[in-house]
Structure 1
């Protein structure tokens, strides 16, 4: 009993299918290939087309982009509309767009920095070294007692 369940476990389609690592420019979920699956039985073996690549109109169920009576893909959790998004653009385009955004943001920040006006009023000054004597300053205080003691301008 244990031996037969172990051999069934080892002969699953995940172990039989070789893992191929390759560079790709789009998602592998929308290739249209039909994967032969001996465990599928009488269920229709549908091609790998994601529901996200379907058009938005003309469906009985527009939320899931499916018609009434249409067979659901065996891997509907990764082929349906609610699966992670399909990305059909190259990573270089994404990097270019991020670089463009960073450049525009930096240019805008530089423009604001260079065109920021000066203060319209004279900065306030205090007599007696920032009113230290009037506010009770003592030598060795941890927190200095004075009006704006850290102003360096």
Structure 2
């Protein structure tokens, strides 16, 4: 007795001899062997008899056709690691390059500003102070730490505008 793969089978009901298309898988019998193709990979703009499933009448099906039709889980075509790293390198280099361009050309200049000063003892009377004893609790206390810390840049035009403002409105700076 030899171990060979049979290439034919006999149909028991008709007595017909059937030539196997795939001797390794006798379930196919004489049905044509079809390579599986995901329906999502077929041309969506082609004309089909059954447009929703992207299938024509009398197209041969695979044994596992339900794994490849439109209702099967989506098939994702992944890229290799080299391509993914290249795409990430391009993205991050453009992102940080744009940030460096903005920082180098100073496209976001600092706005000139000075600490606020409020007239009449920091608006204590306007905010409801009853007298000198409670003025400290009611007056508006601007944050003067920015000027003391040197955060504000020394600008000649800002300093001259500040002096001109102090000369024009001396009543606001009596305290």
TM normalised by structure 2 equals: 0.43
CA radius of gyration, larger in:
2
Using CA pairs under 8 Å that are at least 6 residues apart, name the structure with larger relative contact order, 1 or 2: 1
TM normalised by structure 1 equals: 0.47
